[in-house]
Chains A and B, each alone.
Chain A
Amino acid sequence: MNQVGSVGLIASLAFAAYALVAGAVGGKLRSPRITRSAERAAWGFFLMITLAVVALEYMILTNDFHNAYVAEHSNRDLLTYYKVAALWAGQEGSLLFWTWLLSIYSALVVWQNRRKNRQLMPYVVSVLMGVGTFFSLLVFFVANPFQELSLISSAGTRAFSAPDGSGLNPLLQYHSMVIHPPMLYLGYVGMVVPFAFAMAALITRQLGDNWIRTTRRWTMVPWMLLGCGILLGGNWAYAVLGWGGYWGWDPVENASLLPWLSGTAFLHSVMIQEKRGMLKIWNVSLVILTFFLSIFGTFLTRSGIVSSVHAFAQSNIGPFFAVFLAIILFFSVTLLFLRLDHLKSENKLDSMVSRESGFLFNNWILLALVFAVFWGTLFPVISKAVENTTVTVGAPFFNKVAIPMGLLLLLLTGAGPLLAWRKTSFQSLKRNFTLPIVVALVAGAVMFAEGVRDLYAWMTLFLSVFVIVCIVGEFWKGARTRMRTAKENLALALYNLTMRNTRRYGGYIVHIGIVLLFIGFAGQAFKTDAKGLMQEGDLLTVKNYMLRCDGLVSGDNPNYEYTRALITVTRNDQAFTSMHPEKRFYKASQQPTSYVAIHPTLSEDVYVLLAGLDPDTGKAIIQVFINPLVMWVWIGGVVTLLGTLLALVPSRVEREMAEMRQAQELAVQAGDGY
């Protein structure tokens, strides 16, 4: 099967290289035949990479330890779904997985655009396959997952099969880690598509509405998936790493946040181009930046230039990525400068107090946040290079810098949608903002009276109330109009209102999701914890909770040995729950890890960790955290996901417009011979 996989890789490289050239030639010569050939080669790329992935998964699932990658990342007693996840557990497999996802996206783009965007498609395919060529080269020549184990002896070198593998890293043996990397990669890889369309639009000078409409949807999907991936990673960190938090501003975490932030900026500013024909250069720049940051994030995770608990082992692929990043930057920025004349704004800004200005401020704050996170993440490397001094830039720095910017963004989340296009009058401001400000002030006063004294937490909750009232007001105003004009009840009015403009109201639901996330973040200010040595019968108190240790039990299964603490929890002297944190020792990899016990509620999580056994007394070292409002982080993520899905559903007006556009494009193609 190693040979099958290698054949798949070589063939995929050939198809990608052919499609890269054929796409460019087909576009230059305006040849539909060559363009179709390039598109078929993109399908060939997909099929061959799929063959390679199937070969590797087959070897993992059948415990074929001739293969070095399988021997390093799997073992016989690993559960099946973890074996599937072993595909992306290591450097080589995850790069293959990245390439496979790229091939899927490429095939989808080719299929979806088989009858439209025909002038753009040659160059879209060429750019997609250019990226595919790079990754295929990297996988085959530098990080090949189809290396065989070999035994070197005095008799020579011969193939070798290990009796069992080293197993999956215990930290990765958790359910959200099975889907976190695929979601993250779908996000990273997906950003190639809007970049490809942007480059094609620049090359062909087709810089009107069409490319921006296509690019917006193709950005929203990976943006949504990247956001899911980020939250799933936070969920994993919360449940597995055992420090009671879900975001530590680790360099690899930051690397995933950067393209998500710039993608958010693009999804907002693109509305200005669609409505007013403005910010064209800005939007193209954002698409380039988002793709650059996606590749940069991949580079950061794998190059070893920064230390991270999430990073792959240091390897030699860093320089290849650095060269690729330089090529992307040079090619895209040069093309942008050559097409500046075609990107002039069609309108002017009329007022500082307008939706356009609101989006501009939103964009700038998002980019300032991107810069702050980027700068802080890379500063240790820069400091080492400039001063030969090793410094750490950790969570305290990022919290101090990012939280104020985040609060400004939260304010704009509520205020922005209530501003009118072009100019907002003072009367309109008074009408739209009086109620939200009054309600928020009342809520703020109540929170202060209830003891909320942390400035950031208070501002977060104050602004959250403000934003929610703004958004609910928007739904109410629209529904009320329908109830009057169409004589519908409230539920039907809300439904029809939303479905007639899914972009707008889906976007409002996304904003609600973001607000819920911020509410969850605010809970970190009220975290409490306690630690103690416990044996059977011992008690530990934290806040209004009492933990009683009912003993320790030990056991094992084929995968690991474990020590489990039996903890009974009472709250306000009432029975609450029982919790069983574990300390595990994984046999194949010879590594220990903790299995945290979490009891979540809407108001707070009880989080209990068995840190280990005290060597002197043999007692269990129990650490308990009370984490307020964490549940709202996960709920906020789900609401954001649902809002995005809704925003992707075309409303009736959009569908009619799309049909008209397609009909006209078909007519044009018939004239061009496509």
Chain B
Amino acid sequence: MSDKQNNPNSGIRCPISQVGFARHSSLLTRHDYFWFVVLAATLFAASVAHADSARKPTLEAIGNEVQCTCGCNAPLNQCPMLNCAEKAEMRAFITKEIADGKDETTILQDVSIRFGVQALSSPPAKGFTLAVWILPGVGLLVGLGMVVVLVRRWRSKPDIVPVPSFASRDPKVLTAVEEEMKSTGMK
């Protein structure tokens, strides 16, 4: 780390290490990137967990988390079959569970024991099925991290002479384009 970067009087100080950084012309520092990734991960985890936060169970809410086992491939609340026996049985079971004072997580566990794990609209977050929950988030964060790394790598490359564009070969066209851009406020 350079002396310039390690200047405690720069005004930018890492809240953990108390190391100070000079403000670079690129605006963001390594610690900015780090906190950005932490913030992004926290927000993502919080938003996924948001839907799982404790709430009083209702038949309606649990019916959206459970699949009807009659073969309709629809959540319990959306089963289109009239007088569906499986739907009636599952609703009666859930109603009893709610009356017994159980919370949503326990009720869903009992549903999976009674009717099979395929009766849950979302697979449980354990064992192999944990992979379905983890991988999308990991993919997002790893990818965002890779973007950050790639940007830094590109920025450290020497300047490359840009390939001249087709338009620049004809001075008349170039002049016309310049005037056009000025009149539209693009330049």
> Does B3 touch A at the CB level, under 8 Å?
no
Nearest A residue to B156, CB-CB: A348
Residue of B nearest to A245 (CB): B78
Binds B, one of A81-89, A432-440, A655-663: A655-663
Q: Interface of B with A (CB < 8 Å)? A: 26-28, 33, 43-44, 47-48, 50-52, 64-65, 67, 72-75, 77-78, 80, 82-83, 116-123, 127-129, 131-133, 135-137, 139-140, 143-144, 146-148, 150-151, 154-155, 157, 159-160, 162-163, 165-167, 170, 173, 176-177, 180, 183-186
- 19 further interface pairs, Cβ-Cβ under 8 Å (given A394-B67, A612-B83, A653-B180): A243-B77, A248-B74, A346-B160, A353-B28, A360-B147, A375-B132, A383-B123, A397-B132, A400-B51, A404-B44, A404-B47, A478-B184, A482-B183, A482-B185, A485-B183, A594-B80, A611-B82, A615-B83, A656-B176
Contact: B147 with A364, CB < 8 Å? Answer: yes
Neighbouring B residues of A448 by C-beta, 8 Å: none
Known interface pairs A307-B73, A392-B123, A501-B184; A351-B129 also in contact (CB < 8 Å): no
Q: Can you name 26 A-B residue pairings with CB atoms under 8 Å?
A: A345-B154, A346-B160, A348-B154, A352-B26, A353-B26, A353-B28, A360-B150, A364-B147, A372-B136, A372-B139, A379-B129, A383-B123, A387-B127, A390-B116, A391-B123, A392-B123, A395-B121, A396-B51, A400-B122, A401-B48, A426-B27, A455-B50, A481-B185, A482-B183, A485-B185, A615-B83
Whole-angstrom distance from the CB of B163 to the nearest CB of chain A?
5
Task: List the 5 closest pairs (A to B, CB-CB), nearest first.
Answer: A481-B185, A394-B121, A372-B136, A243-B78, A404-B47
**How many residue pairs at the A-B interface have CB separations less than 8 Å?**
187
**When the two chains form their complex, are residues A349 and B155 in contact, meaning their CB atoms are under 8 A apart?**
yes
Residues of A within 8 A of B133 (CB): 397, 401
B interface footprint on A493-512 (CB within 8 Å = 1, 0 otherwise): 00001001100000000000
**Could you tell me if B123 and A393 are in contact, using CB atoms closer than 8 angstroms?**
yes
Contact between chains at A364 and B144 (CB < 8 Å): yes
Residues of chain B with a CB closer than 8 A to A477's CB: 185
Asked whether A386 is an interface residue with its Cβ less than 8 Å from the other chain, the reply is yes
On chain A, which size bracket covers the interface?
35 or more
Instruction: Indicate if A147 sits at the interface (CB-CB under 8 A).
Output: no
> Does A262 sit at the interface, judged by CB under 8 A?
no
On whether the beta carbons of A353 and B27 are closer than 8 Å, the reply is yes
- Determine if A389 and B132 form an interchain contact, defined as CB atoms under 8 angstroms apart: no
- The docked-state distance in angstroms from the alpha carbon of A500 to that of B180 is 9
Across-interface contacts of B131 in A (CB, < 8 A) = 379
A403-B82 contact in complex given A349-B151, A391-B118, C-beta closer than 8 Å: no
A393 to B73, CA, bound (A): 11
Q: In the complex the two chains form, is A347's CB within 8 Å of B162's CB? A: yes
**Which residue on chain A has the smallest CB distance to residue B69?**
A392
Write the chain A residue with the least CB distance to B82.
A612
Q: Find A360's partner among B83, B120, B151, B185 (CB 8 Å cutoff).
A: B151
A667 lies within 8 A of chain B by Cβ: no
- A residues 380-414 in Cβ contact with B at 8 Å: 383, 386-387, 389-397, 399-401, 403-405, 407
Smallest CB-CB separation from A389: which chain B residue? B117
Candidates A392, A455, A652, A653; contact of B118 at CB < 8 Å? A392
Taking a contact as CB atoms under 8 Å apart, the answer to whether A393 and B132 are in contact is yes
A209 at the binding interface (Cβ < 8 Å)? yes
User: Is residue A554 contacting chain B, with contact meaning CB distance below 8 A?
Assistant: no
CB closest chain-B residue, reference A308 = B73
Is A368 at the interface (CB under 8 A from chain B)? yes
C-beta contact mask, A476-498 vs B, less than 8 Å → 1, else 0?
01100110011000000000010
In the bound complex, what is the Cα–Cα distance between A455 and B160 (angstroms)?
Answer: 47
- Evaluate contact between B166 and A661: CB separation under 8 angstroms: yes
Are A361 and B147 interface neighbours, CB within 8 A?
yes
**Binary per-residue interface labels of chain A (594-616) against chain B in the complex, 1 for a CB within 8 Å, 0 otherwise:** 10000000000000000110010
Distance in angstroms between the alpha carbons of A165 and B119 in the assembled complex? 37
A396 with B64: CB separation less than 8 A: yes
